[in-house]
């Protein structure tokens, strides 16, 4: 649905040229929810704004639904944007227009005949659960409600793609969750492709299928959210993951353990517990749980246990190999001994 | 010194005429300023760097002309525009004739005010409209003008009050009006009564305009 090829965006400032996005290529499939995470300044915002050409890439191309947007003239680009919805961190509703008129504005942009406006606006309000707010002004709405209006506006012309620029970053955790559920619902119902950028890893964990991590304008890691959570490659990715799921034992505690401290990870398996008890029965080692959690990522369980194993080093090695043979990912954590 | 009531009654017809002359001048020049200055202000804004109809040459040319007119002292503009006034109105005296110069001065003044009002709009709202696929015309009509409405009304108030002040100078070319009355009787003839009466009328007029403007701006703002 979206092909980003060798996209680079540089900005000329008083202090010289700054590279916002550095040679990024991504392919996002139809119906996918794709998350891009990174700290501020990583280039994720520039990247998402290049997808609908709110910012024109310095080089590279952006193809949405088979259309290379960088090659369109302004009128064709305007038409293409009708099929690319976008929501924003600060909602950006027209403050002097009612909820109804804000949504009707988007429909009028597509040349919707006046007689069809009312029905469609009401349908959209129904979808985002704001039917009773039809005639109020944005100032009278809460943040979550404003974002719902933003979503209704973005979806007005049945877009194939929805871009979310830090859409939940200004919302409290509960509201964030309800907006994310709404986005997921919409994704399932309309099979719309969603691209979202965020610095909150829980957003990605909650609804994304695939993700990319950005740093310094580049994509440093990309893949299925589940796989990345299970086995992050880059330091930054690990840092982001540890912000939502703590798979670690505090450093100062580690040095107090005399045995071998290992992290055992089971993909998709609550059954992991069985592996551990089998291991403890079959090998002359003593196990001591330091930490255990089963995280649900995209509704698939990811089991993580940190334990201290005591025994002769060869027995411990055998025990670890046994767990690996039962498809656990085992990692020895150095504890400074 | 002191106010002589008899004098007020004596000159009351003159005061009345002058008052309506002032209203005529302000009315005409305000209408022209709104009709020409508003589009000009919008054009100044949307052709500026980074905006949706960015056009540096157009922006620079309009900006330059606006600055030139604004830098000419009004009293000089009044005299310099006598030929133009004659061409348009067929005469060079009276409130209608004075309205030509007042209009020329008010257009760039109001255009800058409109431009500034538009700058106060959050750029994100404009971007959201672009992202939605809105046409430039829709953005002007449904985003820029509604969002800047309250601020523009404050600007209209400011323009009217400036026009009240400028219209006092119209007397120089025989434009008439309250200000002219104050200068002719109060200043040249040391007629304190007329001086005080006209100044009081002007103060009341400006207060009323300001209050009406504030009230309207507040009443229509939905924020």
Note the pLDDT of residue A313.
85
Q: State the Cα–Cα distance between residues A211 and A28, nearest whole angstrom.
A: 10
CA A173 to chain centre: 15
Q: State the Cα–Cα distance between residues A322 and A65, nearest whole angstrom.
A: 48
The CATH classification of domain A2-242, taken from the options 3.40.50.620, 3.40.50.300, 3.40.50.880, 3.40.440.10:
3.40.50.300
Q: Nearest Cα to B213, choosing from B151, B144, B145, B121?
A: B151
Q: State the Cα–Cα distance between residues A71 and A227, nearest whole angstrom.
A: 36
Q: Nearest Cα to A310, choosing from A273, A335, A274?
A: A335
Section B200-223 average pLDDT: 93
Note the pLDDT of residue A105.
97
Section A289-296 average pLDDT: 83
**pLDDT one-digit tens code per residue, A229-281:** 888 899 999 889 888 877 677 777 777 888 888 888 888 755 566 888 888 88
Section A282-308 average pLDDT: 85
Domain extents in chain A? 2-242, 251-333
Beta-strand pair A59-64/A67-68: antiparallel
Q: Which domains does chain B have, with CATH numbers?
A: 5-220 (1.10.3720.10)
Note the pLDDT of residue A272.
62
Under an 8 A CB cutoff, do B138 and A106 touch?
Answer: no
C-alpha radius of gyration, chain B, whole number: 20
| Residues whose CB is less than 8 angstroms from the CB of residue B52 and which lie 6 or more positions away in sequence, other chains included | B46, B126, B130, B136, B139
Note the pLDDT of residue B27.
95
Note the pLDDT of residue A270.
57
Q: In what order do the strands lie in the sheet with A260-267?
A: A286-297, A300-310, A260-267, A329-333
Burial (0-12, 13-18, 19+ Cβ within 10 Å), A169: middle
- Residue B146 touches partner A, C-beta closer than 8 Å: yes
**Residue A167 pLDDT > 60:** yes
Residue of chain A nearest B129, judged by CA positions:
A106
Question: pLDDT band at B188, cuts 50/70/90?
Answer: confident
**Residue A155 pLDDT > 70:** yes
Section A200-220 average pLDDT: 93
| Residues whose CB is less than 8 angstroms from the CB of residue A100 and which lie 6 or more positions away in sequence, other chains included | A121, A125, A134, A135
All residues of chain B having their beta carbon less than 8 Å from the beta carbon of residue A109 are 129, 132-135, 138
Question: pLDDT band at A218, cuts 50/70/90?
Answer: very high
Token pair for residue A128? 């985002």
Residue A164's beta-bridge partner residues? A87, A196
Beta strands in A182-313 (DSSP E): 193-198, 210-215, 218-224, 260-267, 286-297, 300-310
Note the pLDDT of residue B3.
74
> In this predicted structure, which of A19-28, A53-62, B196-205 has the lowest mean pLDDT?
B196-205
**Residue A24 pLDDT > 60:** yes
**Residue A121 pLDDT > 90:** yes
**Residue B192 pLDDT > 60:** yes
All residues of chain B having their beta carbon less than 8 Å from the beta carbon of residue A95 are 125, 147, 222-223
Please answer whether residues A8 and A57 qualify as being in contact, where contact means their C-beta atoms are separated by less than 8 angstroms.
yes
Note the pLDDT of residue A269.
59
> In this predicted structure, which of A52-66, A151-165, B182-196 has the lowest mean pLDDT?
B182-196
Residue of chain B nearest A52, judged by CA positions:
B131
Q: What is the DSSP string of A73-129?
A: -HHHHHHHHTTEEEEETT----TTS-HHHHHHHHHHHTT--HHHHHHHHHHHHHHHT
- Residue B124 touches partner A, C-beta closer than 8 Å: yes
Q: Backbone phi, then psi, for A184, in 5-degree steps?
A: -60, -45
Rounded to a whole number of angstroms, the distance between the first and last alpha carbons of chain A is 52
All residues of chain B having their beta carbon less than 8 Å from the beta carbon of residue A86 are 128, 131-132
The topology under which CATH files domain A251-333 is Alpha-Beta Plaits (3.30.70)
Handedness of CA A118, A119, A122, A124 (dihedral sign): negative
Residue of chain B nearest A158, judged by CA positions:
B132
Nearest-CA distance from A101 to chain B in Å?
A: 9
Note the pLDDT of residue A13.
86
**pLDDT one-digit tens code per residue, B86-132:** 999 998 888 999 999 999 999 999 999 999 999 999 999 999 999 99
- CB-nearest to B147 from A95, A108, A157 is A95
Q: State the Cα–Cα distance between residues A225 and A205, nearest whole angstrom.
A: 7
**Residue A42 pLDDT > 70:** yes
Q: State the Cα–Cα distance between residues A231 and A244, nearest whole angstrom.
A: 15
- CB-nearest to A96 from B131, B135, B146 is B146
Q: What percentage of chain B exceeds 90 in pLDDT?
A: 70
Note the pLDDT of residue A71.
94
Question: pLDDT band at B176, cuts 50/70/90?
Answer: confident
Q: In what order do the strands lie in the sheet with A2-13?
A: A16-28, A2-13, A59-64, A67-68
**Residue B2 pLDDT > 70:** no
**pLDDT one-digit tens code per residue, B65-92:** 999 999 999 989 988 999 999 999 998 8
Please answer whether residues A232 and A238 qualify as being in contact, where contact means their C-beta atoms are separated by less than 8 angstroms.
yes
Nearest-CA distance from A79 to chain B in Å?
A: 6
């Amino acid at each position: 649905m979206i092909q980003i090829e060798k996209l680079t965006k540089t900005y000329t400032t008083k202090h010289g040229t700054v590279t916002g996005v550095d040679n990024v290529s991504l392919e996002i499939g139809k119906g996918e929810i794709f998350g891009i995470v990174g700290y501020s300044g990583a280039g994720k915002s520039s990247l998402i704004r290049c997808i609908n050409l709110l910012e024109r890439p310095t080089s590279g191309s952006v193809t949405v639904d088979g259309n290379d947007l960088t090659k369109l003239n302004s009128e064709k680009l305007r038409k293409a944007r009708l099929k690319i919805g976008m929501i924003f961190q600060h909602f950006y509703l027209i403050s002097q227009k009612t909820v109804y008129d804000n949504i009707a504005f988007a429909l009028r942009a597509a040349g919707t005949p006046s007689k069809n406006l009312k029905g469609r606006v009401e349908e959209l309000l129904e979808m985002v659960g704001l039917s009773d707010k039809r005639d109020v002004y944005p100032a009278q709405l809460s943040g979550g409600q404003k974002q719902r209006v933003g979503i209704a506006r973005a979806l007005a012309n049945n877009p194939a793609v929805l871009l979310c620029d830090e859409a939940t970053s200004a919302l409290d955790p509960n509201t964030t969750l309800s907006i994310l559920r709404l986005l997921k619902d919409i994704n399932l119902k309309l099979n719309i492709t969603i691209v979202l950028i965020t610095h909150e890893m829980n957003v990605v964990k909650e609804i994304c299928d695939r993700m990319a991590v950005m740093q310094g304008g580049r994509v440093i890691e990309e893949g299925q959210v589940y796989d990345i959570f299970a086995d992050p490659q880059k330091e930054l990715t690990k840092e982001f993951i540890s912000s939502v799921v703590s798979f670690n034992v505090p450093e100062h505690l580690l040095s107090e353990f005399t045995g071998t401290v290992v992290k055992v990870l089971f993909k998709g398996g609550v059954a992991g517990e069985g592996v551990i008890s089998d291991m403890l029965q079959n090998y002359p080692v003593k196990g001591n749980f330091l930490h255990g959690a089963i995280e649900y990522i995209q509704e698939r369980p990811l089991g993580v246990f940190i334990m201290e194993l005591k025994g002769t080093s060869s027995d411990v090695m055998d025990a670890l190999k046994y767990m690996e043979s039962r498809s656990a990912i085992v990692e020895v954590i150095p504890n400074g001994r | 010194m002191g106010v002589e009531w008899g004098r007020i009654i004596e000159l009351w017809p003159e005061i009345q005429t002058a008052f309506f002359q002032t209203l005529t001048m302000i009315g005409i020049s305000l209408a022209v300023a709104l009709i020409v200055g508003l589009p000009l202000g919008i054009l100044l804004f949307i052709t500026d760097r980074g905006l949706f109809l960015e056009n540096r040459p157009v922006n620079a040319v309009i900006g330059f002309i606006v600055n030139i007119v604004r830098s000419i002292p009004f009293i000089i503009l009044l005299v310099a525009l006598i030929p133009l006034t004659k061409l348009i109105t067929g005469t060079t005296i009276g409130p209608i004739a004075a309205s030509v110069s007042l209009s020329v001065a008010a257009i760039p003044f109001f255009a800058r005010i409109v431009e500034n009002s538009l700058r106060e709009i959050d750029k994100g709202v404009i971007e959201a409209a672009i992202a939605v696929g809105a046409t430039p015309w829709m953005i002007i009509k449904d985003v820029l003008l509604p969002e800047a409405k309250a601020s523009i009304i404050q600007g209209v108030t400011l323009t009217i009050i400036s026009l009240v002040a400028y219209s006092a100078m119209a007397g120089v070319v025989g434009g008439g009006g309250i200000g002219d009355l104050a200068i002719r009787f109060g200043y040249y003839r040391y007629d304190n009564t007329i001086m005080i009466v006209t100044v009081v009328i002007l103060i009341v007029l400006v207060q009323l305009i300001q209050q009406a403007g504030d009230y309207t701006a507040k009443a229509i703002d939905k924020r």
